[in-house]
Amino acid sequence: MYFSIVSTIFIVSLPIFTHGVPVSIGQQDSAIVGRNERASASTKLTIIKAAHPTGEHIVVVKDIKHLDEVMKLVPATMHKSLSKLAIIKGFAGKFTPEILDKFLSNPNVERVSQDGYMDYDSVSVQSNAPWNLVRLNIKGPILQSTPTEYKYDATAGSCADVYVIDSGINIHHDEFKHGAATRAHWGATFGEYPAGTENTDQDGHGTAMAGIIAGTTHGVAKLANVYAVKIGGKRPADKNSEDPTRANVKKAIQGLNWVMERAKENPGRRPIISMSIGTDNHLDFDKAVRAVIAQGIPVVASAGNGKENKETKEYEGVDASVRSPAHLESVITVGAINRHNVRLYRSNFGKVVDLYAPGEDVATASAVDNSASASSTGTSPAAAHVAGLVAVLSCHPHVGATVANPAAMHAKVIALSDQSKFNMNLGQVAIKADSHKRVAHLPAEIPA
């Protein structure tokens, strides 16, 4: 059984804003700055550097039994400011050079890394463009003769809890209402924010992603629950800002840890993590992502929106292998295409990108008020589509049991994908021959 939504498709020409900052719009992909190397003359560790450091450091121990012992190297007066990161056997905080030196010399410490700022991978403007759901249903580009229908199974992700690790969600938006109740919930907040904004989405990015995942009108999985896991606030205008409300690796790891523990307490639900965020390759972040996947939770992540061309000031896609968590093999990594079946020029690409999904002028929910809509562009909305697709598959009566673990789900998403060729829109950018050319596909009738 399926429902269908019939809508008129409008082709809207909108500017794409490419300015932004790490906690705002993730477009600062670059090679990892440092490596965890041991000095040749001793066994002393060196600090792994981040491209955009926050001023804090993450310390990981070799064995969890030594965690408290290593934490005692920090004066007792500073313990309240430490953030324990059990998921990676570590902790984070702001340390003096003397304390850092103690960590680096301690045989029980595996590594010490700079915490780094993270990125949101899209730009939002007001618009209304429902083409994206149509494209998910069909194979090939949208034509004038293409029916404007989005067909979906009646279960529509009803057994799924999608954890949106992002800027928060406007949980009161009409898009998430289900009768007298709501399918959007506030999960957890990590970091400090201005009074009264802790449990709100001040940026709008998280609300936009949740609307694509599970909105009643704009969403893929129209009966799924979405949970806000807030790790960042409103994007600052200065991309080099050290605003403490910006998303960073430490808060992302805390969010992953919270999801893992909550999923254990709700075994009857199907948990999914949606991460339309990213940063330069980061070992600690990767370790945390692998941990939740090992527990059986699929992770969908955006491929990233490339880096700025210093001459043209435009953002150009790069190989996503430089980005966490996108480069992880066990993560479902998603790039972006437009309605004409062309890769967005800013979308990252490469072998680690599993497939592409609609990512330009995508209509969704706005955090401005409880009925407003917005448009989102980038690899963020592309990943949100696939997170919704995963929710639908998780609850499908004929498919759900066969995709009960992340590896099986990953394989199913790829097996369903539209593998007809599309325009990679490379320009002068070189691309590896093994880059995948798959587009996310959710047919009305899903084969077992």
For 393-419, what is each residue's pLDDT tens digit? 999 988 999 999 999 999 999 999 998
Mean pLDDT of 9-29: 34
Confidence (pLDDT) at 431 = 57
Supply the pLDDT for residue 263.
97
Rounded-to-10 torsion of CA 210, 211, 214, 219: -140
pLDDT tens-digit map of 323-369: 999 999 999 999 999 988 889 989 999 999 999 999 999 999 999 99
Sheet containing 362-365: order of strands: 122-125, 373-378, 362-365
* 3-state secondary structure labels for all residues of 360-385: CCEEEECCCCCCCEEEEEEHHHHHHH
Q: Is 166 a catalytic residue?
A: yes
DSSP 390-431: HHHHHH-TTTGGGG-SHHHHHHHHHHHSB-S--B---TT---
Residue with the two structure tokens 């061309």: 309
Model confidence at 170: pLDDT above 50: yes
The percentage of the chain sitting over the pLDDT mark of 70, rounded to a whole number, equals 84
Q: Return the number of other C-beta atoms located less than 10 Å from residue 312's C-beta.
A: 8
Per-residue model confidence (pLDDT) at position 266: 93
Higher pLDDT, 423 or 110: 110
Which of 201, 266, 246, 253 lies closest to 228, judged by CA? 201
pLDDT band, very low/low/confident/very high, at 447 (cuts 50, 70, 90): confident
Res 21: pLDDT: 32
**Structural element, H or E, at residue 5:** strand 2-6
User: What band does 38 get if pLDDT is binned at 50, 70 and 90?
Assistant: very low
pLDDT over 90 at 64, yes or no: yes
Q: What's the Cα-to-Cα distance from 171 to each of 175, 389, 396, rounded to whole Å?
A: 9, 21, 25
The residues near 58 (Cβ < 8 Å, ≥ 6 apart) are: 85, 88, 90, 91, 92, 112, 113, 114, 115, 249, 250, 253, 284
Yes or no: say if 27 and 56 are a contact pair by the CB < 8 Å rule: no
Per-residue pLDDT for 6 more than 60? no
**380 a catalytic residue:** yes
Q: What average pLDDT does range 187-215 have in this prediction?
A: 97
> Which residues, other chains included, contact 132 with Cβ-Cβ below 8 Å and sequence gap of 6+?
212, 339, 357, 358, 362, 363, 381, 385
Enumerate the CATH 3.40.50.200 domain ranges in the chain, comma separated.
Answer: 123-416
Mean pLDDT of 262-267: 95
DSSP string, 173-195: -GGGEETTEESEEEEEE-S---T
Give whichever of 21-25, 118-122, 144-148 has the largest mean pLDDT: 118-122
Nearest CA among 384, 383, 402 for reference residue 393:
402
CA distance 238 to 21: 7
Task: Give 294-329 pLDDT, tens digit per residue.
Answer: 999 999 999 999 888 888 878 888 999 999 999 999
Using CA atoms, how far apart are residues 312 and 330, in angstroms rounded to an integer? 35
Q: Give start-end residues of each CATH 3.30.70.80 domain in the chain.
A: 47-116
Q: Is the pLDDT of residue 131 over 80?
A: no
Fold of 47-116: Alpha-Beta Plaits (3.30.70)
| Third-level CATH fold of 123-416 | Rossmann fold (3.40.50)
Residue 101 sits at φ, ψ, to 5 deg, of -65, -35
Q: For the whole prediction, is pTM greater than 0.85?
A: no
Buried b (16+ CB within 10 A) or exposed e, 144-154: eebeebbbbbe
How high is the mean pLDDT of the chain? 85
Options 122, 274, 380, 394, the catalytic residue:
380
Residue from 52, 57, 173, 205 carrying the catalytic annotation: 205
Of the residues 166, 203, 284, 361, only one is catalytic, namely 166
